[in-house]
Amino acid sequence: MVLIENASDTYADENKSWVYEHRSAIEKCGFAVDLVDLRNYLNDFSSLRAKLSNTDAVWLGGGNTWYLRWLLQATKADTLLVSLTHQGTVYGGGSAGAVVAGPTLKHFEEADDPKQAPAVLYNGLNLTTKVIVPHLDDEEYGPIMERAIANLQQDSFDVIGLTDAQAYAIDGNHEHLLE
């Protein structure tokens, strides 16, 4: 599994313990983890394509949604990930990685600072027609995410709200809430 943790690039190292906890949890599940730093591929799409094309799954971790979406576009990883998922590569994401999989980043401005990205992109990867809204049970982010859900629904988006103990899986035409 390729693990991309770049959404956390905007955080100071001393504030990233959750990144290492998530990586450890993935490794404890038995996955062979290959860390990929997209910043190393800003001007080397062919190497990125070769790297991601030789894996069964790609997981994008949490952090700043806006920065992650910008970096995906800047490296062309966004179009590559869409193509690879259509060829059978499994896409997974936590927090920001889940949000960017959907159709839009609208209404996440309160959760993450868009100014931390060199360019603000509102379109997601469209791997799902639903907007995944994480952290509903988080003391700090829960109220922010509830407001995002209300605004997204007002804009007629399909929304799936998740607590930190839940996941949403899509396998072809089958969709499942996992608790």
pLDDT digits (tens, 9 = 90+) for 117-127: 999 999 999 99
Burial class (CB in 10 A: 0-12, 13-18, 19+), 60: buried
pLDDT at 8 (0 to 100):
97
Instruction: Name, in order, each residue with C-beta under 8 angstroms of 32's C-beta and a sequence gap of 6 or more.
Output: 1
Length of the chain: 179
pLDDT computed for residue 33 by the predictor = 95
pLDDT at 9: 97
Query: Which domains, ranges and CATH numbers included, belong to the chain?
Result: 2-178 (3.40.50.880)
Q: The whole model's pTM is what? A: 0.96
**Beta-ladder partners of 174:** 171
Residues 10-26 have a mean pLDDT of: 92
* Percent of the chain's residues with pLDDT above 90: 97
What per-residue confidence (pLDDT) applies to 104? 98
Q: With contact defined as beta carbons under 8 Å apart, do 41 and 76 qualify?
A: no
Q: What angle do CA 65, 66, 72 make, to 5 degrees?
A: 90
What pLDDT, on a 0 to 100 scale, did the predictor assign at position 38?
98
Mean residue pLDDT across the chain:
96
Interval 22-43 mean pLDDT = 95
Distance CA 93, CA 32 (A): 17
> Which residues in 5-157 belong to E strands, given as ranges?
34-35, 57-60, 90-93, 130-133
Under the banding of pLDDT at 50, 70 and 90, the label for residue 45 is very high
Q: pLDDT-based confidence at 169, cuts 50/70/90?
A: very high
DSSP 158: E
